[in-house]
């Protein structure tokens, strides 16, 4: 699965709250492959297989859990991703169908 999403970092891999200057929403071209969620700047970066060295842009999905972020009311179509190593992210998708599709894809790979 691939597509554009907005992503916000909430907790780091040690379970510590992400510091203020790293908590803003950012757009990424997101692809799911081999139990990894890769976040590229755009489709071009995906084609060239360009990766930044930011560990938040290659997220391990194994033993991760995606759930609708019903408690997050500032934006629509948002899901929460909790990873096995205690990191937590919010992802905003484009509509309710995309929201369910990302959640199911992540949880049932």
Residues that bind ligand I3P (CB under 6 A): 20-21, 23-25, 74
| E runs forming strands in 1-109 | 2-11, 26-33, 36-40, 58-60, 65-68, 78-82, 88-92
Q: How far is the CB of 20 from ligand I3P (least distance, A)?
A: 5
Q: How far is the CB of 34 from ligand I3P (least distance, A)?
A: 30
Q: How far is the CB of 7 from ligand I3P (least distance, A)?
A: 11
Side-chain half-sphere exposure of 13, counting CA atoms within 13 A: 10
Q: 23 or 33, CB closer to ligand I3P?
A: 23
């Amino acid at each position: 699965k691939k597509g554009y999403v907005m992503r916000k970092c909430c907790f780091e891999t040690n379970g510590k709250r992400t510091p203020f200057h790293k908590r803003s929403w950012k757009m990424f071209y997101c692809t799911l492959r081999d139990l990894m969620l890769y976040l590229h700047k755009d489709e071009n970066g995906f084609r060239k297989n360009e990766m930044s060295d930011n560990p938040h842009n290659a997220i391990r999905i194994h033993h991760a859990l995606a759930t609708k972020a019903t408690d997050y009311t500032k934006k629509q179509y948002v899901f929460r991703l909790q990873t096995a190593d205690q990191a937590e992210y919010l992802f905003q998708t484009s509509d309710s169908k995309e929201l369910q599709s990302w959640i199911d894809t992540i949880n049932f790979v």
